[in-house]
Structure 1
Amino acid sequence: MKKLLSIIVVLLAAAAATLYFSPTALLASTQSLERHLAGLSTQDIQVDEFNIRYYEGGPADAETILMLHGFGGNRDTWLRFSRELTARYHVIALDLPGFGESSKPDVSYDVASQVERLHGLIQALGIRKLHLIGNSMGGHIAALYSARHGDEVLSLALLNNSGVTTPTKSEMFQRIQRGEPNPLVVRKPEDFDVLMHFVFATPPAMPEPLKRHFAQQSMANREHYDRIFAQLRERYVPLEPELPKIQAPTLLLWGDQDRVLDVSSIEVMKPLLHKPSVVIMQNCGHVPMLERPAETAQHYQDFLDANRG
């Protein structure tokens, strides 16, 4: 028994040392475990000048769900959410061009450009029909794609999406209008905590070394993100004229505590859609698939089941 306790103590000490001295290694191990639990593997595909990295899993002959992350995010956004879906669906979660480990050439990453890149990717993957789901900026892209390439879209799910002028301005846009820094861009280490409290109603517990690691990663990309955010604003495509073109059943899912994009967006979008469904999650922020992945996935599965066929 003493020998077993000694081994456990050594292992815990080793884990603590790994976390402190190499958060990158710990993060890689954690992501590998999450991928395994979700039944996903990492893939790459070249589409025009972009090498696009993505996760893929689930039965190859099942219906495809394609997932699009938000501004500053990446494909890991969907890991725990995907865990609930890969038994029944062919799941693809992208690093959108310009984000994550996909190519980042010096081009525009406005929503309309991303829609056409997405169309090229879907054609390259040989997908004829799919379910689209997107969060924030990814929801804006998914909605515009569904309006412009609707014959490919079986259903659309928009989670706290951008793209509409809301009756109530969100805290983020109030800050930006006052000339304050964009809270989604990390410029100094302490900004990472600000970001976490801004996008989550209840931020997840995270060891300090991992916080520092994520802060450093985000700070390294701040100029790139500032440039993309400016492009999104300068080449903004409003969804109000586009939403009536969408024929697919559409889920509008929002966290009621979203400080990035106000929940009143639903009041604008619902009357413009042909087949809307609405879910408002209480005490939840801007990224419900991260904050409450199993619950969000259940809402999404209920939506898919209700609209099957």
Structure 2
Amino acid sequence: MNLFHNSVVAMTLTTILAYGLSVRADEPQSLTTQVLHRTVKIDDLDIFYREAGPKDAPTVLLLHGFPTSSHMFRNLIPALADKYHVVAPDYPGFGNSSAPSVKDFDYTFDNLASVIEKFTEKLGLKKYSIYLMDYGAPVGFRLAAKHPDRVQTLIVQNGNAYDEGIDNEFWKPVKAYWKDRSKEHGDALRSLLTLDATKWQYTTGVRNVETISPDTWGHVQPLLDRPGNQEIQLALFFSYGSNPPLYPQWQEYFRKHQPPTLIVWGKNDQIFPAAGAFPYKRDLKNLEFHLLDTGHFALEEDGATISTLILEFLGKQLTK
């Protein structure tokens, strides 16, 4: 066997182990792929994170979307951890991190990015690749534009940096809230925080709904339903309006620094449709582009495909 063949076999086995495909139930888990669940203090907040892989390997920072948490990466982490140091934090107000009230913490994307920036520094992450999905895009692009020297590659999965991706029906009531932060417009968005809306996010656009585990909304919805959490999410819906004005700055970062980028985009997403993926081609020269026949949470249906694409991409980019 040549080196390339050995590499492909290793990646395939790693993917199979992570996604539970044809693996014996009694197969022991590798110490390097074992996921650790940790908490670190950042500005009096407990920031929960999942971590796996050798710390002397290149780091992959996984930034989750709404309304989930690092839980969305539960299978991807061990799939990458044989070769990479993988870290996935929960933002304040999400997952197992602190969720102070809106009176005690200003829930803006600037502040989420600041917490994650301090988190990377607390963990000593000097260089990293970033997986950006949904809310992870405005958090991660703030980091990248501020510290371009720290970012080795970008992996973009249904995360926007162009106006073309946020001009669909989903965004009309959200944009109305940006223009007028009234109770009426805020209350109109509370339907996005219901169990039906959460299921819709996970199941719309998938090829086979039977592949989507109810453990997903079973994890997310109780957290959304915590007292005070609706106000947290409404604050972030409003703050999302701070992101489009920064798009030109992020696009200038792409053009100037040309980070190697992998696009793995669920093309049937009704929130961030494929229209938001194509504009990256305008500004990035070192770009791998994949539209997948699935929905918003592409990892749920196409996690094995995405992990293989990431391993191949990072293998090429981080060994140059």
Question: TM-score per shorter chain, which class?
Answer: 0.7 to 0.9
Give the secondary structure class of the aligned counterpart of 2:235: helix
Partner of 1:92: 87
CA contact (8 A) 1:142 1:156 kept: no
Residue of structure 2 aligned with 1:52, choices 47, 52, 72: 47
CA distance in 2, matches of 1:43, 1:211: 23
Q: Does residue 229 of structure 1 match 2:215?
A: no
CA distance in 2, matches of 1:232, 1:49: 24
CA-CA distance at 1:307 after TM superposition: 1.6
Aligned pairs (5 A) from 1:236-251: 237-246=245-254, 247=257, 248-251=259-262
Give the secondary structure class of the aligned counterpart of 2:75: helix
CA-CA distance at 1:128 after TM superposition: 1.2
Partner of 2:130: 132
Q: Does residue 193 of structure 1 match 2:199?
A: yes
CA-CA distance at 1:201 after TM superposition: 5.3
Q: Does residue 157 of structure 1 match 2:155?
A: yes
Q: Is the deviation greater in 58-67 or in 224-233?
A: 224-233
Partner of 1:13: none
Q: Is the deviation greater in 167-176 or in 113-122?
A: 167-176
CA-CA distance at 1:95 after TM superposition: 0.6
Structure showing greater radius of gyration is 1
CA distance in 1, matches of 2:30, 2:261: 28
CA-CA distance at 1:210 after TM superposition: 8.3
Structure 1 alignment gaps of length 5 or more? 1-32
Residue of structure 2 aligned with 1:271, choices 276, 282, 286: 282
CA distances 1:85-126 after superposition (whole Å, capped 9, x unpaired)? 111111111112221111223323322322222221111111
Q: 1:306 to 1:182 in 2, by over 3 A?
A: farther
CA contact (8 A) 1:253 1:279 kept: yes
Q: 1:238 to 1:305 in 2, by over 3 A?
A: same
> Which amino acid counterpart does residue 278 of structure 2 have in structure 1?
E
CA contact (8 A) 1:44 1:52 kept: yes
CA distance in 1, matches of 2:119, 2:170: 32
Partner of 2:57: 62
Partner of 1:121: 119
CA contact (8 A) 2:161 2:251 kept: no
CA distance in 1, matches of 2:65, 2:264: 14
Q: Is the deviation greater in 110-119 or in 211-220?
A: 211-220
Q: Percent identity?
A: 22
Q: 1:76 to 1:38 in 2, by over 3 A?
A: farther
Residue of structure 1 aligned with 2:167, choices 169, 172, 179: 169
Give the secondary structure class of the aligned counterpart of 1:92: strand
> Which amino acid counterpart does residue 300 of structure 1 have in structure 2?
I
Aligned pairs (5 A) from 1:251-262: 251-262=262-273
CA-CA distance at 1:184 after TM superposition: 7.8
Give the secondary structure class of the aligned counterpart of 1:239: helix
Partner of 2:310: 300
Residue of structure 2 aligned with 1:284, choices 294, 312, 316: 294
Partner of 1:12: none
Aligned pairs (5 A) from 1:14-93: 39-93=34-88
> Which amino acid counterpart does residue 170 of structure 2 have in structure 1?
M
CA distance in 1, matches of 2:37, 2:66: 21
> Which amino acid counterpart does residue 302 of structure 2 have in structure 1?
R
What is the number of residues matched between the two proteins?
274
CA-CA distance at 1:74 after TM superposition: 0.5
CA distance in 2, matches of 1:101, 1:183: 22
Q: Is the deviation greater in 191-200 or in 71-80?
A: 191-200
Q: 1:163 to 1:126 in 2, by over 3 A?
A: same
CA distance in 1, matches of 2:163, 2:270: 15
CA contact (8 A) 1:143 1:239 kept: no
Aligned pairs (5 A) from 1:174-185: 174=172, 176=174, 181-182=188-189, 185=192
Q: 1:42 to 1:297 in 2, by over 3 A?
A: same
CA distances 1:139-177 after superposition (whole Å, capped 9, x unpaired)? 222122111111111111111103421167334224646
Q: 1:273 to 1:211 in 2, by over 3 A?
A: closer
Residue of structure 2 aligned with 1:103, choices 90, 98, 110: 98
